[in-house]
Every structure is written in C-alpha cells, then in structure tokens.
Structure 1
Amino acid sequence: MPAPRTVLLTGAAGGLGTLMRDLLPAHGYTLRLLDLRPIEGAPDAITADLADRTALREVVRGVDAIIHLAGISLEAPFEKILKANIEGTYNLYEAAREEGIRRIVFASSNHAVGYTPRPQGDTPLDESALIPIDIRRRPDTFYGLSKSFGEDLAQFYWDKYGMETVSVRIGSCFPEPTSVRMLSVWMSPADGARLFHAALTAENVGHTVVYGSSANTRLWWDLSTARALGYEPQDDSEPYAEKLIAEQGDLDPANEAHAYLGGHFVTAPPIWPY
C-alpha cells in the first residue's frame, strides 16, 4: 500500500500521541491532530469530542488513514469507558466509513489479554513459550474490555464494509522502561513510530492484530504478525535491566501483580483522573 500522505492522529495530546506527533512526520506523514483538549504549540489541532458525530465527519474528511489513540487509557467506571472508548470508537469508525477511509490503526492494549499468565522460564524465552496473538482474550479491566470491543469492531467493519484495520496491542511506550515488568513489554517511541508506519503501509491487512513492543531480550509475546507487516524493531530494554532489577527486585511468581500479563492492572489498576 502506498504511504498515506495525510493521517488523522486522534488522542494527539496524550502521552503516546505527543510522542507520535513528533516522530511520524519523519516517516513522510502530514498529521491532522485531534484531541478533546487543546494541544499546546499546535494551533491547527482540532478540538472535538468523539461523541460529536457531525464534528467527526468533518475531521476525517480528506484524510488517507487514521491512527486512533484517543480515549481513556487507564481504568475508570464503566459508564466513562462506555462513552469514551466504546461509543467513541464506534463513532469514529462510522465517520470513517461514511467518508470512505479505508485504513485505520487502532490502539488496542495488552490489557485485552491481561489475565493471561505471563510466561515463565529463562531469558530470552524459547520461541514456543511466547504468547501467540490468537490467544483467547482475557481483559483485566473495563479498559481492557473496551480494547477487546475495539478489536471486534475492527473485525466487523472489515467483514461487512471492507475497511482495513491493524489493531496494535500496545505494551508500554515510554522513552525508557520504568519497571521490571516493563522490560518485557516496552516499546521505544522510535519503534512505535516504525510499527505504526508498517501498519499504515502494509498490503492486504484485512483485520490484523499485532503485539506492540520492541525486540526486548525479555519479550513475552510473539511479534511475528507485526514483523509480517514489515515492522523491524531496532530497540531492546535490556540496557535498563540491571538498574531496574537492583532497585525493584526481580519479578516474583507468587505476587499476583507479577503473575499475569496485565501486571498491576489485575490487582490495583491505575484510575483515570478526569
């Protein structure tokens, strides 16, 4: 697929959106920025609510593709998750369908499978021990449940309307990992931009689900579907491992927060502050 020229980036004021709006232009994209909040330093950014379907039609009109990062990114009461993550994602897909947009990259999450037991064993894991992409979904929160819904919505829009989506089960995308668990699920910002670029340009993706992380020595999941898109991760969390383990100790299988893929989202999920 030729590289889209203009890409709508929803959630552009958020942590991941801020990283991507700095990195994606180097891959050849002109970004149209959308968020519920104004974006400092981006006077052309569009401020709109995903609940406003009329505004969404205007926002998506004329773009070549969409990267959908907007929504609540932590746990929240179901009513808030329903409005922002479930109804909001549906509204965006409907606007995209009505305007003829054919490719969406959906920010799913590892929390869609957060109750999956994490792999045990030596580092690096044998390939057969990595968590496959087709494992049964086991969301760990209402947030994770909304990401499961988003993946199903993407599948439905592909089957019914021929709209292609790459759903990226993102681990943790920060400038550097901040916990021992994150050593296994970290995606460097540069690798995040590489993965989104691959998801925007790969041919015939239909609805493809991939895990989003760097090529970490302590990797827990199978990146083969991401690599099949043309993703070539360049970074590894291992240079941060010695310091983090010295400060925090290694993962303890007896600790429930360490026993599952979703980490502390299983035991004490961080709560959306707004």
Structure 2
Amino acid sequence: MTRKTLFITGAAGGIATHLRRELAGRYQLRLCDLRPVSDLAPHEEFVPAALEDLPALERAMRGADAVLHLGGLSMEGPWEEVLPSNIDGGYNAFEAAHRAGVRRFLFASSNHAVGFYERTRTIDHEAALRPDSRYGVSKAFGELLGRLYADKYGMEVLCLRIGNVNARPLDERRLAIWLSPRDMAQLVTIGVEHPDIRFEVVYGVSGNRRSWYDNRNAYRLGYRPLDDSEAFAADVIAAAPSEDPRGAPYQGGAFVHEEAFANPAPLPGRTPARKGPGA
C-alpha cells in the first residue's frame, strides 16, 4: 500500500522534530525549510524553500496528499517580522497548496489567537477570535485564510490551535495547554485521514484536566488524547517561578502585555524582556 505524502513547512523546528519521530513509518514526509534538516530517514525527503517564495512552494508541494503548515515566526515580534513570515507566508502556503492541487491542509494556529480570554472562562471552537499579540493576529488571519480557501476553492482545512508541544509541560500555565508529541501526532493523523473535513477548528492540547478548552470538536473527529499534564503537575508547580501578575489572569499569559517582545528599544522606564518560548 502506497503511503500518503505529508508536506511539512517549518520542518527544522521543534514541533516538526517531534512529529518526525511520532509519524515515522506512517507517511512519506516531505520536509520544507530554509534551515537544513539532517538525518533523513528512508521515508523522508528535504526540499529547501522560503515561505516568501510562492513559486518555489508550489513546485515543492506538487504531488503531496496534505500540507501541514508549521512554518513562520513562532513567538511575538515586531510587525515587520510578523508580516512577511506569518501573514505573507501563511497566504503563500495556502495559495501554493491550492495551485499545486493539494486539497487537504492542516494549519498550525495557536492558543494566542484566543489568548485574551480570561482563565476563568472555558471556551470552545466557536469562541470569537481574541488575539493577544501581533503573533496571535497572524494566527487568527491564518484561520480566516483557511475558511476562505475551504469555502471558495473546496480545500479541506483543519486549524489546530496549538498550546505548547513538549515532552512535558514547562510551567504552571502550560499545565492547561500542554500537548504531548504523541497526541500532536494523533491530531495530525486525524487531519490527514478523516474523510469528512471541510473546515474545522480544534484545540491542540492533551487531555489536561486543568485545560481552559472545551475540545469537543476534536473528540467528534475521533481524537482520544493519551496524556494529561496532571502527571507532571506537582513537580512543575514546585519548580516554576511565579508568573507575572499582568498576564496571569489571561489564557495568553505574558503575550497580553509584553510589548518588549516586539520593540527593538525598551519603552520609557521599561527594561526589555528576554525573548522566551513562543507558547
């Protein structure tokens, strides 16, 4: 039986690195990035291309069965960085897939597309977009692109509002949004294989009892998470530093207030913050 070909942008990044291990043997992986991807397995191939280069992306995607768009800026940044990588790059990824005849498209959205909801709220896939940052705006834009390409061109789009993919949650906030690599792989498999996807939004989180999300739409599509961040909670809470109180009420955390992520010079009276993880 011929394996499907999954085209992955941002293939040198952390999420793709996890997925390469978790999806080994399931798909033929066509890995796309400007940074080199090493140690290719027999079921993998590397195709260098920039998100800004629409013709190159189109050529690289031809013959693929599905696209997983992980590429672009993965944290807050100045608009002059967000615009080419996430806005223009997101458009180019959808348009290249459309031109190449690839109907199935998985868009890596983010919890930051809805990060201005308070943590006291439980939200579902129908919650209005409330981005917490320029980065969050770019992910909201990508979801709307997905809606457009589904409605106008008949593409089959799954938007994954990813929390934080890691082997274990890194801090107390991420206990609510953690996504284990194997649960991420399960969501990707649903996105590639499910026969009835037209346009869907799901949350990319494991079965965390501390979650802020009603992820029933993912469950409707067959998602059955294997992991729960509670297994790490005691150690994480004991080791984690206190969270900045300005971001603590909000699901997006520091992204709701941290302009220093996005300005090359500090605001008056402010010390620039060091850039941290993007989720």
Contact 2:59 2:100 survives alignment (8 Å): no
Q: For the Cα contact (< 8 Å) 1:199–1:229, is it kept in 2?
A: no
Q: In the TM superposition, what is the alpha-carbon distance from 1:256 to its structure 2 partner?
A: 2.4
Structure 2 counterpart of 1:257, from 247, 256, 266: 247
Q: How do 1:36-75 and structure 2 match up within 5 A?
A: 36-42=34-40, 44-75=45-76
Q: 1:146-187 CA distances to partner (integer Å, 9 max, x unpaired)?
A: 000000000001111000110000001001001011111100
* Structure 1: unaligned runs, 5 residues or longer: 120-128
Aligned amino acid, residue 109 of structure 1: S
Contact 1:76 1:271 in 2 (8 A): no
For 1:158, the aligned partner's letter is: A
Task: Kindly indicate whether residue 177 of structure 2 is the aligned counterpart of residue 185 of structure 1.
Answer: yes
Instruction: Show CA shifts across 1:72-126 (max 9, x none).
Output: 001111121110111111111111111211100000000001111112xxxxxxx
TM-score w.r.t. length of structure 2: 0.88
Distance 1:25 1:175 in 2: 17
- 2:29–2:45: 8 Å Cα contact kept in structure 1? no
Letter in 1 for 2:251: L
Segments of 5+ residues of structure 2 without an aligned counterpart are 262-273
- Return the TM-score normalized by structure 1: 0.89
Distance 2:257 2:38 in 1: 35
Query: Alignment RMSD, CA only?
Result: 2.1
Structure 2 counterpart of 1:221: 213
The AA in structure 1 aligned to 2:156 is: E
**Match of residue 198 from structure 1:** 190
SS of structure 2 residue aligned to 1:45: strand
Higher-RCO chain (CA-CA 8 Å, sequence separation at least 6): 1
Which among 261, 266, 273 is matched to residue 256 of structure 2?
Answer: 266
Aligned residues: 260
Paired residues of 1:75 and 1:272 also in contact (CA < 8 A): no
- Of 116, 123, 141, the residue aligned with 2:133 is 141
Give CA deviations for 1:133-154 in whole Å, capped at 9, x if unaligned.
1111111111110000000000
**Equivalent residue, structure 2, for 1:34:** 32
* Seq. identity, %: 44
1:4–1:260: structure 2 CA closer, same or farther, 3 Å change rule? Answer: farther
Q: Please tell me the residue identity of whatever aligns with 1:101.
A: V
